[in-house]
Chain A
Amino acid sequence: MGDKLSLPLKPFRSRGGVKAPHRKHTAECESVVMPPPSEVLICMSQHIGVPCKPVVKPGDEVKVGQIVGDNDAFLSVPMHSSVSGRVKKIETVTMPNGSKVQAVRIESDGQMTPFEGIKPPKIETRDDFIKAVRDSGVVGLGGAGFPVHVKIGVERDKVDTLIINAAECEPYITADNREALENSWGVVSGIKAVMELMEIDRAIIGIENNKPNAIKVLNEVCREANRDMHGNVCVLPLKARYPQGAEKVLIKVCTGRVVPEGKLPADVGCVVMNIASIAFVSSYLKTGMPLVTKRITVDGSAVNRPQNVIVPIGTRIKDIIEFCGGYKCRPEKIIFGGPMMGLALPDDEMPLLKQNNAVLAFSEKEAARLEPSDCIRCGRCAAACPMGLTPPLISGLVAKGDAEGLADNGIMVCMECGCCAFACPANRPIVQNMRMGKSIVRSAKKK
């Protein structure tokens, strides 16, 4: 890879962003393990690739970690049972984004018996490792659900930098903070494994500076670890400004590199992994237990006991909230993920997905939104956009349906981070508009 890359001493500049309130109420709450719920619902689409096909039938006995769905497609990862028990039925559920996918409903026997086939993977080569990562079922645990084996499975020598995303810039969420505090050695050994097996030169842990305890702990373990990693790992405190944890922004602030439109991090030599994903990889290498639980933050004004919980994947929101003391008042809005990018759910029957990192239940007051009014062209949205877009200009083009103009003005780089709408004094539905613009461009391309 030529000259040895140096580690950044301070973050590179990024543009835009907003000062979102932190509301990290649960930062000091030690994670608690939730007991197995009475049943789980394992969705066959918890990643961005083709959905899996169920490989079990109703009535089958399953154990923790047993494969219940799989698919050979490039972007797919297997799905595992998160409890032991009996398959009740295979059904169709509507995902929060409106798509319909198959799901396996499993009745738990409360025993959590691990599957007999589970053993640490044997890894000798780079390809073994990529395959093991796929078998573990891990996807980008930060929210997007991009399969990790695809991120790292690029040509040899293409990637020189591993970036660990511990920014956790969304308000309320503290699950990554807890991961760093409770499992710092797991994080570092995961980094070590990926760096060695994937022949990556340096690793940068990007973390917002509103988590001083986590930074301290990570710094300590990195100092230890650097003895046998030639000082190639560093913790980079970032300013606490939403959205530092957005992949492209994080790459820019950690390395100064700009991911070109329509390209992937690997095209600028980076692999970005969420801190929870890297810690999971390390534990998988040790135990061989696939991804069956997830640490999430449960918070919001409608929840009785906000806290961090380690939950079996597929547990219904209802059961999770029940475990957290139930609802304090009637919830007006339930969100999967953070308040800036999270999805509002139609009900609390939805099962937890691998890529979710929070469940927020807002009371009526907290969910209240103002009516949109006319755009006053104040430019706050454009100033806040980390991607350098000009929303009022784009809204005009969306109204005209001008696909070419939209593409020229960069609509496709919009990551729907919500900074624009957050900043807008007229409460314009800018993010919806952006989505509309993207679909105009996509359908024009198809023609």
Chain B
Amino acid sequence: MENMLTVSSSPHLSSGATTRKIMLDVIIALVPASVAAVIFFGWKSLMLIAVCIASCTALEYICRKVMKRKNTVGDLSAVVTGLLLALNLPSGLNPLIAVFGCVVAIVVVKQMFGGIGNNFVNPAITARIVLLVSFPVQMTTWEKPFEWLKTADSVTGATPLALMSQGTSTGYMDLFLGNTGGCIGETCALALLLGGIYLVARKVISPIIPLCFIGTVFVLSFLLGGDPLFHILSGGVMLGAIFMATDYTTSPMNPAGKVIFGIGCAVITVLIRFYANLPEGVSFSIILMNILVPHIENLTRTKPFGKEKKNEKA
């Protein structure tokens, strides 16, 4: 035959899954939370989302160009990082600070370690923590929901967790719907749960990490004398458990590892909330567990089929 045939290795079929489709699903799953953010905190949150997505994508593009690597903006992972970072910010934040966060997330955490799949901590969370440490005041100035509808200068409020430490409680319904102070994307549990259900239904994530995370926070805060329902609905637990702790690159691959990871995140979160000098611990718990992932993976390796058990020596 004159024409050469393609000779490639088996398999000659593919499931059709692509990184881009997966990231698109994550973006779709974040739509309810983004809409809730705009409803509660107004156009400022819309601007934050836009700024973060645009700068993350631009930074990813520039980084790949500078490093002379194949460009990966098309896989949409930078959009996901930008969106997640935006949802982790308070509504009144100066957009320039947000851009600085994007630089941390994309340039330092993601691309300097080799791009998608190679970072060992979650870019969005790390960026949030860096911002929290660098701009402690701006990062903890919360606006009250619906303030943006009023004409007067916006009034600052406090997060339910901060209120609780002062002895004021927030109603469950407000917590569930997101009618409280906090980062723009973390307050509405309902929207986050919808997104989570979508991701599980689309088989983008396994439900193990969110269930272990949220479940353990519930049980542990009950055991320590707290209000379990309040603890799972407040702060970043929902956002963290569903969207941040399930990041592929920085969480374990196999089910046993996911269980350990989810429980570990929850334990650290609750301990920080109850005993440390910080009102919120979700970001720190996830980043700490991110660092432990290689060890968790080592401990929970699946046994290959028909492999004899060797004397356990680590």
- Once bound together, how far apart are the Cα atoms of A387 and B301, in whole Å? 13
In chain A, positions 395-413 with a C-beta closer than 8 Å to chain B are 408-410, 413
| Minimal beta-carbon separation of A403 from chain B (angstroms) | 16
Within 8 Å by CB of A374, from B8, B118, B304, lies: B118
- Once bound together, how far apart are the Cα atoms of A346 and B114, in whole Å? 36
| Minimal beta-carbon separation of A353 from chain B (angstroms) | 16
Question: Is the CB of B7 closer than 8 A to any CB of chain A?
Answer: yes
Q: Are the C-beta atoms of B11 and A388 separated by less than 8 Å?
A: no
Inter-chain contacts of B310 with A (CB < 8 A)? 408
B contact face: mostly helix, strand, loop, or mixed: loop
| Minimal beta-carbon separation of B252 from chain A (angstroms) | 8
Question: Is the CB of A326 closer than 8 A to any CB of chain B?
Answer: no
Question: Is the CB of B10 closer than 8 A to any CB of chain A?
Answer: yes
Question: Is the CB of B136 closer than 8 A to any CB of chain A?
Answer: no
Q: Which of B14-22, B160-168, B277-285 contacts A (4 or more CB under 8 A)?
A: B14-22
Inter-chain contacts of B19 with A (CB < 8 A)? 373, 376, 425-426
Question: Provided the pairs A423-B15, A423-B17 are in contact, do residues A390 and B10 lie with their beta carbons within 8 angstroms?
Answer: no
In chain A, positions 13-54 with a C-beta closer than 8 Å to chain B are 15, 18-21
Inter-chain contacts of B153 with A (CB < 8 A)? none
Q: Are the C-beta atoms of A378 and B75 separated by less than 8 Å?
A: no
Q: Are the C-beta atoms of A340 and B248 separated by less than 8 Å?
A: no
Q: Which of A193-201, A280-288, A306-314, A331-339 contacts B (4 or more CB under 8 A)?
A: A331-339
- Once bound together, how far apart are the Cα atoms of A367 and B254, in whole Å? 32
- Once bound together, how far apart are the Cα atoms of A21 and B13, in whole Å? 9
Q: Are the C-beta atoms of A346 and B304 separated by less than 8 Å?
A: no
Within 8 Å by CB of A369, from B8, B116, B297, lies: B8
Q: Are the C-beta atoms of B116 and A333 separated by less than 8 Å?
A: no
- Once bound together, how far apart are the Cα atoms of A20 and B11, in whole Å? 11
Inter-chain contacts of A19 with B (CB < 8 A)? 15
Question: Is the CB of B66 closer than 8 A to any CB of chain A?
Answer: no
Question: Is the CB of B6 closer than 8 A to any CB of chain A?
Answer: yes
Question: Provided the pairs A332-B6, A347-B5, A425-B19 are in contact, do residues A261 and B306 lie with their beta carbons within 8 angstroms?
Answer: yes
- Once bound together, how far apart are the Cα atoms of A335 and B5, in whole Å? 10
- Once bound together, how far apart are the Cα atoms of A408 and B10, in whole Å? 25
Q: Are the C-beta atoms of A342 and B14 separated by less than 8 Å?
A: no
Residue of B nearest to A263 (CB): B306
| Minimal beta-carbon separation of B289 from chain A (angstroms) | 15
| Minimal beta-carbon separation of A430 from chain B (angstroms) | 9
Question: Is the CB of A109 closer than 8 A to any CB of chain B?
Answer: no
Inter-chain contacts of A341 with B (CB < 8 A)? 10-11
Inter-chain contacts of B297 with A (CB < 8 A)? 393
Residue-wise interface mask of B (9-46) relative to A, using a CB-CB cutoff of 8 A (1 in contact, 0 not): 11111110111011000000000000000000000000
Q: Are the C-beta atoms of A18 and B10 separated by less than 8 Å?
A: no
Question: Is the CB of B223 closer than 8 A to any CB of chain A?
Answer: no
Residue among A20, A362, A386, A410 with max Cβ neighbours from chain B (10 Å) = A410
Residue of A nearest to B250 (CB): A377
- Once bound together, how far apart are the Cα atoms of A392 and B75, in whole Å? 20
Q: Are the C-beta atoms of B303 and A388 separated by less than 8 Å?
A: yes
Inter-chain contacts of B22 with A (CB < 8 A)? 376, 378, 425
Q: Are the C-beta atoms of B7 and A344 separated by less than 8 Å?
A: yes
Question: Is the CB of B173 closer than 8 A to any CB of chain A?
Answer: no
Residue of B nearest to A408 (CB): B310
- Once bound together, how far apart are the Cα atoms of A367 and B7, in whole Å? 10
Residue-wise interface mask of A (348-384) relative to B, using a CB-CB cutoff of 8 A (1 in contact, 0 not): 1000000000001010000101100111111110110
Q: Are the C-beta atoms of B14 and A413 separated by less than 8 Å?
A: no
Question: Is the CB of A92 closer than 8 A to any CB of chain B?
Answer: no
Question: Is the CB of B133 closer than 8 A to any CB of chain A?
Answer: no
Q: Are the C-beta atoms of A409 and B117 separated by less than 8 Å?
A: no
Question: Provided the pairs A370-B18, A376-B19 are in contact, do residues A416 and B10 lie with their beta carbons within 8 angstroms?
Answer: yes
Q: Are the C-beta atoms of B13 and A431 separated by less than 8 Å?
A: no
Residue-wise interface mask of B (177-210) relative to A, using a CB-CB cutoff of 8 A (1 in contact, 0 not): 0000000000000000000000000000000000
Residue among B9, B12, B15 with max Cβ neighbours from chain A (10 Å) = B12
Q: Are the C-beta atoms of B13 and A386 separated by less than 8 Å?
A: no
- Once bound together, how far apart are the Cα atoms of A386 and B305, in whole Å? 8
Q: Are the C-beta atoms of B306 and A258 separated by less than 8 Å?
A: yes
Inter-chain contacts of B253 with A (CB < 8 A)? 377, 379, 382-383, 390, 392
Question: Is the CB of A421 closer than 8 A to any CB of chain B?
Answer: yes
| Minimal beta-carbon separation of B210 from chain A (angstroms) | 15
In chain A, positions 289-305 with a C-beta closer than 8 Å to chain B are none
Question: Provided the pairs A339-B12, A374-B115 are in contact, do residues A410 and B304 lie with their beta carbons within 8 angstroms?
Answer: yes
Question: Is the CB of B72 closer than 8 A to any CB of chain A?
Answer: yes
- Once bound together, how far apart are the Cα atoms of A426 and B74, in whole Å? 13
| Minimal beta-carbon separation of A388 from chain B (angstroms) | 4
Residue among B115, B116, B118, B253 with max Cβ neighbours from chain A (10 Å) = B253
Inter-chain contacts of A373 with B (CB < 8 A)? 19, 70, 72, 75, 116
| 15 A-B contacts (beta carbon < 8 Å) | A20-B13, A248-B305, A259-B306, A340-B11, A367-B6, A374-B116, A377-B248, A382-B302, A387-B304, A390-B301, A416-B10, A418-B11, A421-B11, A425-B17, A426-B117
Contacts A260-B308, A390-B253 aside, 16 further interface pairs with beta carbons under 8 A come to A248-B305, A258-B306, A259-B306, A333-B7, A343-B10, A360-B12, A369-B14, A374-B116, A376-B19, A378-B22, A380-B17, A421-B11, A422-B11, A424-B17, A425-B17, A425-B19
**Partner-B contacts on A (CB < 8 A):** 15, 18-21, 171, 248, 258-261, 263, 330-335, 339-348, 360, 362, 367, 369-370, 373-380, 382-383, 386-390, 392-393, 408-410, 413, 416, 418, 421-427, 429, 431-432, 435
> Across chains A and B, which 7 residue pairs bring their CB atoms closest together, nearest first?
A410-B304, A418-B11, A379-B253, A425-B17, A339-B12, A387-B305, A378-B248
